[in-house]
Structure 1
Amino acid sequence: MNHFPRNTPLSRLIGLLLVGASASHAYAASEEIQVYMDEMNAPGAFGLDVHSNYVVKGNRTPDYPGAQAPGKVFRLTPELSVGLTPTLDLGAYLLTSIGPGGMTSVDGEKIRLKFIAPKYEGQAYFWGANLEVGRVAHRLDQNPWNGQLKGIIGYRTTRWTMAANPNIDWKIAGPVAGPAMLGVDSKLAYKTDAGYEVGAESYNGFGQIKHLGHLNQQSQTLFGVIDTDIHGWDVNLGVGRGLTPASDRWVLKAIVSVPLKSL
């Protein structure tokens, strides 16, 4: 068995991943269940990611009048992106869903700007940030305009991939005042001899930044995932299990990256 040395950037990152996995206010499943890493479009090149998830078993009671309860909801979110520079990537999302009764709806739009710091050839670690602003329908949030700042840190070898996203979410505009919230998403994956990766992703809320705690009242979900390449199409598949009463109990998710030609 291989042992990682202590007190190194790699060991500290592994520790952060384990903290995130053990530690999330009750939400519906996000339109985008993904741990951000260092993937970027080349300048002028377009990308298309199709995010989808389905809450197999979750809360069927709305959190507020007019809210969409997460149970039995299927979410489909196409994301179109373009590389601006070697370190900047611009993306836009269209949020859609199908409710338990088969009702299809458009739930909002979001834009994001992603930065990944320059890397030298062979560099294993990476870091960056992602800023996202969006407007969503009342059934998803009582405040229509929201923002998120996502940190991106990671480490990749020929076999192992590790990454963590500390997230700060806040309300930009709306009738209901709300404090900024902290969350941490993380990923640990191993590349098999067959070429695909198997691993785990965790999505965890820690509550209000000013009053962290009460973790059993936050959403915490752990996914088993597979990442593979099918004829140039990157695919991420996952099965998630909620770990607290505030979490959706079972969630299925898929992300399909469609290769597109540059301008």
Structure 2
Amino acid sequence: MATAQTDEIQVYNAQIAEPGVFNLTLHDNFTPDGRKTPAFPGAIVSNGSLNGVPEWAYGVTPWFEAGLYLPLYSLPRNGDAQLDGFKLRALFVEPDAAQHTFFYGVNFEFSFNSKHWDPNTYTQEIRPILGWRFGKMDFIVNPILDNSWKGFSRLDFAPATRVDYNFSDKWAIAAEEYDDFGQLRHFDRPSGQTHQLFAVIDYNGKPINVEGGVGFGLNSATDHLTLKLILSRDLN
């Protein structure tokens, strides 16, 4: 559904935890100026809401990382904190993706959703990862398909794209775009799609990695202003 909210605003770059390493990533996004009507009856209104989740990950092999998102939570502007569900993740990538000019992978997420978060109790995300490096610049696309288990034609196409410039091995700036065109069988009309452009800055250092961004809606169906913060560190 093109008007649904999300707990994770991130473009995947095929990099994973090393085998035997536990990693914790904290995702938080806040919408100071968003849509003021619910996406479906009983849904959380995005305007003024804070959404987030801790993401627990473990490097199983050089090409496989397992993850758990728990708990998903929301704090609406005019309401109490709510639990939104949880997700399981299986991420398969090219080993040592950071060392390659072209890199790839695919991520599968399986979600259990509270009724106020998604009208479908069980959903899935299929996220291919394709990326190219050109000197200090990277171009990455995640042509995401959201699955509500109602048939192939009802898969929802919600791609995420990133172009970044790496000043050093620690600092980078990026432009990211997050779109939702609707179901494959029939895309939503342009006024019903969502398109949001983010300006992002990354710090990849020790002991913690930081990614912060400001997102601007490109049409009336999209939240006008969203802030995101991602903090990540290895636990062992």
TM over 0.5: yes
Structure 1, unpaired ranges of 5+:
1-23
Which one has a bigger Cα radius of gyration? 1
Counterparts of residues 63-74 of structure 1 (less than 5 Å) = 63-74=39-50
Three-state SS of the structure 2 residue aligned to 1:84 is strand
Cα separation, partners in 2 of 1:232 and 1:159, compared to 1, 3 Å: farther
Q: Distance in 2 between matches of 1:214 and 1:255?
A: 32
AA aligned opposite 1:184: P
Q: Distance in 1 between matches of 2:43 and 2:82?
A: 13
Three-state SS of the structure 2 residue aligned to 1:172 is coil
Cα deviation, residue 209, structure 1 = 0.5
Q: Distance in 2 between matches of 1:155 and 1:58?
A: 33
Does residue 79 in structure 1 map to residue 55 in structure 2?
Answer: yes
User: What does residue 140 of structure 1 align with?
Assistant: 117
Q: Is the Cα–Cα contact under 8 Å of residues 153 and 163 in structure 1 kept in the other structure?
A: yes
Among 143, 150, 156, the residue aligned to 1:181:
156
How many residue pairs match? The answer is 233
User: What does residue 260 of structure 1 align with?
Assistant: 235
User: What does residue 61 of structure 1 align with?
Assistant: 37
User: What does residue 138 of structure 2 align with?
Assistant: 161
Q: Is the Cα–Cα contact under 8 Å of residues 97 and 103 in structure 2 kept in the other structure?
A: no
Q: Distance in 1 between matches of 2:170 and 2:146?
A: 36
Root-mean-square deviation (CA, aligned residues, Å) is 2.1
User: What does residue 214 of structure 1 align with?
Assistant: 189
Does residue 249 in structure 1 map to residue 205 in structure 2?
Answer: no
Structure 2, unpaired ranges of 5+:
none
Cα separation, partners in 2 of 1:155 and 1:121, compared to 1, 3 Å: closer
Cα separation, partners in 2 of 1:36 and 1:100, compared to 1, 3 Å: same
Cα deviation, residue 155, structure 1 = 1.7
Cα deviation, residue 110, structure 1 = 0.2
Cα deviation, residue 33, structure 1 = 0.2
Three-state SS of the structure 1 residue aligned to 2:57 is strand
My pick for the range that moved more, 122-131 or 71-80, is 122-131
Q: Is the Cα–Cα contact under 8 Å of residues 80 and 92 in structure 1 kept in the other structure?
A: yes
Q: Is the Cα–Cα contact under 8 Å of residues 27 and 247 in structure 1 kept in the other structure?
A: no
Q: Is the Cα–Cα contact under 8 Å of residues 73 and 83 in structure 2 kept in the other structure?
A: yes
Three-state SS of the structure 2 residue aligned to 1:131 is strand
